[in-house]
Amino acid sequence: MLNRQKGATLIVVLILLVALTVIGTLAIRQSLVSLNIATNGQAQQLLIQNSDSATFNVENPNNLIRSLARDGMFGFIKGSTNKGKELIFCYRGDQSQFFNLSRASLIYEQNGSIVNNSLGVSGYCQLGSQNFFTSNRRAVLTQVSVSFVEGGNVKPFQFYIRGTDTEKAKIEQTERVVVNTVSLIPSLSTATDEEINTCLSTRLSNTDIPAHSIATCLSSFNVPFTVHVTEYTLGQAFI
């Protein structure tokens, strides 16, 4: 009888151990899920904050006149030569000046392929020895794309306030400009630096061809990113 009791005790202990193991495994799995949710939430917040910061700099009234200059963020691509092309620059935290043409690049489609080096390649955010991140934390890369919308379906005076007399008001014809800010966190991806750099330097923000899209490229490598698209109507008064 005593031996049977010892055998029953062993079975009970084994059942308890199995139950504790299952409970512990479920607890660890739940903790990991909660940690992933929290990490994703923090990452999304960082991406939005960095994109918003870049947009605020674009909209800064103190930078507007400089941006409309011939070598400015809007002025350089406003002419017929660069109309429709994307002006690219990296929003870098270690740079005191938000935009500088010497640190910008042009990218556009030509005969079914992408041309990205007509203005050099220093404007693209790149992982490597230099600090292309938005802050010293080296967590987020933010790349800005600026392009003017070509003719297409734009109607005459479409972007004017109703009743505007362009001659009496002495204003330049308004045009629509699109600003894309792409923010990403490389450390949360298994993609290599070369793969991410290729997406940033050889893909467009505004394109109808999925293979040419920066969003499609980053998604294919499971890189966490967000894209903010902002449209502005620009005009200039002559004094």
What per-residue confidence (pLDDT) applies to 200?
Answer: 96
Contacts of 143 (CB under 8 A, 6+ apart): 88, 89, 90, 91, 124, 125, 181, 182, 200
Largest CA distance in the chain: 111
Quick check: is 239 in a domain?
no
Question: Pick from 196, 183, 179, 215: which is nearest to 86 by CA?
Answer: 179
Quick check: is 192 in a domain?
yes
What per-residue confidence (pLDDT) applies to 195?
Answer: 96
Q: Could you tell me where the beta strands, DSSP code E, fall in the chain? A: 86-90, 104-110, 113-115, 141-148, 175-184, 225-234
Quick check: is 213 in a domain?
yes
- β-bridge mates for residue 227, sequence order: 182
What per-residue confidence (pLDDT) applies to 214?
Answer: 96
What per-residue confidence (pLDDT) applies to 235?
Answer: 62
Separation in Å, CA 10 to CA 14, 16, 20, 21: 6, 10, 15, 16
Rounded CA separation 98/89 (Å): 9
What per-residue confidence (pLDDT) applies to 237?
Answer: 43
What per-residue confidence (pLDDT) applies to 34?
Answer: 61
Question: Pick from 181, 157, 122: which is nearest to 233 by CA?
Answer: 157
What per-residue confidence (pLDDT) applies to 155?
Answer: 53
Contact 105, 86 (CB under 8 A): no
Residues of the chain with pLDDT under 70: 1-7, 31-41, 150-173, 235-239
Rounded CA separation 230/149 (Å): 12
109-118: which pairs have CB atoms within 8 A and are 24 or more residues apart? Answer: 109/204, 109/207, 109/209, 109/212, 114/202, 114/203, 114/204, 114/212, 116/201, 116/202
What per-residue confidence (pLDDT) applies to 96?
Answer: 84
What per-residue confidence (pLDDT) applies to 159?
Answer: 47
Rounded CA separation 86/178 (Å): 9
Quick check: is 44 in a domain?
yes
Task: Give pLDDT tens digits for 155-214.
Answer: 554 544 555 554 555 555 678 899 999 999 998 889 999 999 999 999 999 998 999 999
Query: For residue 10, what are the domain limits?
Result: 2-234
The structural domain count of the chain equals: 1
